Amino acid sequence: MTTQPIHGLSNAQLVERARELLPRGHGVARRIHRQVMLEGRFEPEGFGLGPRASGAWRSAFSFDLPEVVTVQSDQGDHGATSKMVLRLRDGLEAESVCIPMGRGRNTLCVSSQVGCKMGCAFCETGRMGLLRHLSADEIISQLLVARHRFGWPIRNIVFMGMGEALDNADNVIQALRVLNDDAGLAIGQERLTICTVGHLEGIRRLRQQGLKRLNLSISLNAANDRLRNELMPINRRSDLARLQQVLMEYQPRRNFALGVNYCLLPGINDTEADARAVAEFCMPLGRVLVNLIPYNPGSTPLTRAPEKVEVERFVRWLRVEGLPVRQRVTKGRSVMAACGQLGNPSARKELRALRTVRA
| Residue 208 backbone zone (phi > 0: left; psi -120 to 50: alpha; other: beta) | alpha
CB atoms within 10 A of CB 147: 20
- 197 makes contact with ligand SF4 (CB under 6 A): yes
Cβ-based nearer residue to ligand SF4, 54 or 196: 196
Q: Write the binding mask 288 to 327 for ligand SF4: x where contact by CB under 6 A, - elsewhere.
A: ----------------------------------------
- 11 makes contact with ligand SF4 (CB under 6 A): no
Q: Residues 22, 37, 116, 178: which binds ligand SF4 (CB under 6 A)?
A: 116
Cβ-based nearer residue to ligand SF4, 164 or 270: 164
Q: Residues 5, 163, 298, 332: which binds ligand SF4 (CB under 6 A)?
A: 163
Cβ-based nearer residue to ligand SF4, 56 or 246: 246
Which one of the listed residues 116, 120, 123, 339 is annotated catalytic? 339
Where does this chain touch ligand SF4 (CB under 6 A) — which range of 32-40, 115-123, 271-279, 330-338?
115-123
Query: Is residue 187 a contact partner of residue 144, using CB atoms and an 8 Å limit?
Result: no
Query: Is residue 239 a contact partner of residue 220, using CB atoms and an 8 Å limit?
Result: no
| Residue 158 backbone zone (phi > 0: left; psi -120 to 50: alpha; other: beta) | beta
CB of 226 to ligand SF4, least distance (A): 18
What single letter denotes the amino acid at residue 304?
R
Q: Residues 164, 181, 274, 321: which binds ligand SF4 (CB under 6 A)?
A: 164
Q: What are the contacts of 10-15 at 24+ separation with CB within 8 A? A: 10/177, 10/178, 10/181, 10/183, 10/184, 11/181, 11/183, 11/184, 12/181, 12/183, 14/61
Residue 80 half-sphere exposure toward CB, CA atoms < 13 A: 11
Residues in the chain: 359
Measured in whole angstroms, the distance separating CA 69 from the mean position of its chain's CA atoms is 19
Where does this chain touch ligand SF4 (CB under 6 A) — which range of 14-22, 62-70, 74-82, 113-121?
113-121
- 110 makes contact with ligand SF4 (CB under 6 A): no
Q: Is 263 a catalytic residue?
A: no
Q: Residues 96, 125, 296, 330: which binds ligand SF4 (CB under 6 A)?
A: 125
Q: Residues 94, 120, 154, 179: which binds ligand SF4 (CB under 6 A)?
A: 120
Q: Count residues binding ligand SF4 (CB under 6 A).
A: 12
CB of 290 to ligand SF4, least distance (A): 17
Cβ-based nearer residue to ligand SF4, 95 or 274: 95
How deeply is 348 buried, as exposed, middle or buried, from its count of CB atoms within 10 A (0-12, 13-18, 19+)?
A: middle
Cβ-based nearer residue to ligand SF4, 66 or 126: 126
Cβ-based nearer residue to ligand SF4, 25 or 306: 306
Of 91, 97, 136, 82, nearest to 113 (Cα)?
136
Q: Residues 36, 65, 110, 123: which binds ligand SF4 (CB under 6 A)?
A: 123
Q: What is the dihedral of CA 314, 316, 322, 327, to 10 degrees?
A: 70
- Rounded Cα distance, 139 and 171, in Å: 8
- Rounded Cα distance, 209 and 189, in Å: 12
| Cβ-closest position to ligand SF4 | 126
Cβ-based nearer residue to ligand SF4, 197 or 258: 197
Enumerate residues 6+ apart whose C-beta is below 8 A from 5: 61, 62, 63, 64, 135, 137
Query: Is residue 354 a contact partner of residue 318, using CB atoms and an 8 Å limit?
Result: no
Q: Residues 110, 118, 282, 315: which binds ligand SF4 (CB under 6 A)?
A: 118
| Residues classed as catalytic | 339
Sites of contact with ligand SF4 (CB under 6 A) = 116, 118-120, 123, 125-126, 162-164, 197, 219
